[in-house]
Amino acid sequence: MKKLAVAGSLAFDAIETPMGKTDKIIGGASPYIALAASYFKVDAGIISVVGGDFPDEYFDILHSKNVNTDGVIVEKKGKTMFWAGKYNKDMNQRTTLTTELNVFANFNPEVPQRYQDADVLMLGNITPSIQKAIIEKMSRRPKLIIMDTMNYWMNNTPDELDETISMVDVLTINDEEARQLSGEFVLPTAAKKILDRGLRYLIIKKGDNGALLFSKDGKMFFAPALPLENVCDPTGAGDSFAGGFSGYIAAKGKTDFETVKSAVVAGSIMGSFCCERFGTENLQLLTDEMVKKRAKEFEELTKFRF
Number of domains in the chain: 1
Nearest by Cα to 291 from 39, 34, 64, 43: 39
Continuous segment of H or E residues that includes residue 251 = helix 237-252
Phi-psi region of 102 (alpha: psi -120 to 50; beta: other; left: phi over 0): left
Residues 38/244, Cβ–Cβ less than 8 Å: no
Residues of the chain short of pLDDT 70, as ranges, are 304-306
What is the pLDDT, as a whole number, of residue 306? 59
Nearby residues of 69 by Cβ (< 8 Å), 6 or more positions away: 45, 46, 59, 62, 63
What is the pLDDT, as a whole number, of residue 122? 98
| 213 DSSP 8-state letter | E
Residues 19/133, Cβ–Cβ less than 8 Å: no
Residues 271/228, Cβ–Cβ less than 8 Å: no
What is the pLDDT, as a whole number, of residue 268? 94
Nearest by Cα to 109 from 73, 145, 142: 73
What is the pLDDT, as a whole number, of residue 82? 98
Whole-prediction pTM? 0.96
Residue 228 CA to residue 205 CA, distance in Å, equals: 17
User: Is the CA virtual torsion 210, 21, 15, 24 positive or negative?
Assistant: negative
User: Residue 103 maps to which CATH number?
Assistant: 3.40.1190.20
| 279 DSSP 8-state letter | T
- Relative to beta strand 20-21, strand 3-7 is unpaired
Residue 116 CA to residue 95 CA, distance in Å, equals: 37
Residue 85 CA to residue 89 CA, distance in Å, equals: 13
Residue 74 CA to residue 257 CA, distance in Å, equals: 39
Domain, as residue range, for 132: 3-302
| 103 DSSP 8-state letter | G
Letter for the amino acid at 289?
A: E
Look at residue 290 and give its three-state secondary structure.
helix
Nearby residues of 196 by Cβ (< 8 Å), 6 or more positions away: none
What is the pLDDT, as a whole number, of residue 257? 98
Q: Hey, which residues does 202 pair with through a beta bridge?
A: 171, 214
Rg of the chain over CA atoms, in angstroms? 18
70-89: per-residue pLDDT in tens? 999 999 999 999 999 999 88
User: Taking CA 265 as the corner, what is the angle to CA 165 and CA 162, rounded to the nearest 5 degrees?
Assistant: 5
What is the pLDDT, as a whole number, of residue 304? 58
142-163: per-residue pLDDT in tens? 999 999 999 999 999 999 999 9
What is the pLDDT, as a whole number, of residue 92? 77
Residue 64 CA to residue 306 CA, distance in Å, equals: 27
